[in-house]
Amino acid sequence: MPNNTRTRLIAGNWKMNKNYTEGVQLAQDLANELGHDTHGVEVVVCPPATDLKGVSGVIEFDRAPFGLGAQNVYWEASGAFTGELSCDMLKSVGCTHCIVGHSERRDYFGETDGDINLKVKALLAAGIVPISCCGESLEVREAGNQVDFVVGQIRADFDGVELESGDQLVVAYEPIWAIGTGKTATPEDAQEVCGAIRAALVDIFGADIASQIRVLYGGSAKPGNVAGFLAEEDVDGALVGGASLVAADFAAMVERAAE
């Protein structure tokens, strides 16, 4: 278990996988694998928008021990924004968390730090916990600029953001070169950047709040390597892509986090 007071968090990002029927099935399989006790580890799954209501039903009726997160949100409350979802819509289907700033949204859909800043503020105002992603490209890492780059993202994404407590926000460090590639950062690589993220959070929010914000590692995390990341002082969990699509693997990661 961690030597700090932060509750470990294992979050699954299903990305654009699993239709409604498959998503409900995966949630039920995960509920069966986990049983009713996650031994002090918080678990969240983030299915595609079309699956949210169905997975919410599994959480409610099967008493599944995980929370529900969306993968995206728009900051306006309502109106003519075709294709977008508001915070209120996410809340109405039971979302407690929402991923923002994933590198896939930044790279493929042109999301900027300014967009992410507005999304973080809208989610906080709605009482939804943002899982705010950051991470450097291979080019940035090879130039040795990963810490400066990620701290710059954090400062821009949280500019003007105010928190009352550290459990309102989660940060996920995901080096882009490690996402879905099978190449993982080493635990030491993760700690270098997650430690710098924590220091930046202290600067932005103050030491008390920053000490309670969970910082996750993401990028080819799986049952066989997650314990190494969790052993690092500033890594409080994982944001899991591919391995979250296999109930037994994701449950095994939760088990590792409980050890």
Ligand X SMILES: O=C[C@H](O)COP(=O)(O)O
Q: Known binding site for substrate: residues?
A: 13-15, 180, 220, 241-242
Pick out residues in 74-103 that bind ligand X (CB under 6 A): 102
d(CA 138, CA 176): 7
Pick out residues in 152-181 that bind ligand X (CB under 6 A): 174, 179-180
Q: Which of 169, 221, 230, 257 binds ligand X (CB under 6 A)?
A: 221
Of the CA atoms within 13 Å of residue 79, those in its CB half-sphere come to: 4
Q: Which of 68, 241, 255, 256 binds ligand X (CB under 6 A)?
A: 241
State the catalytic residue, choosing from 174, 192, 232, 255.
174
The 3-state DSSP class for residue 52 equals: helix
Q: Is 139 a catalytic residue?
A: no
| 48 lies in the site for ligand X, by CB under 6 A | no
β-pair partners for 216: 172
Which one-letter DSSP state was computed for residue 229?
H
Nearer to ligand X, 198 or 222 (CB): 222
Q: Is 174 a catalytic residue?
A: yes
| 71 lies in the site for ligand X, by CB under 6 A | no
One-character DSSP codes across 128-191:
-EEEEEE---HHHHHTT-HHHHHHHHHHHHTTT---SSGGG-EEEE--GGGSSSSPPPPHHHHH
Using CB under 6 A, list all residues that contact ligand X: 13, 102, 174, 179-180, 218-221, 239-243
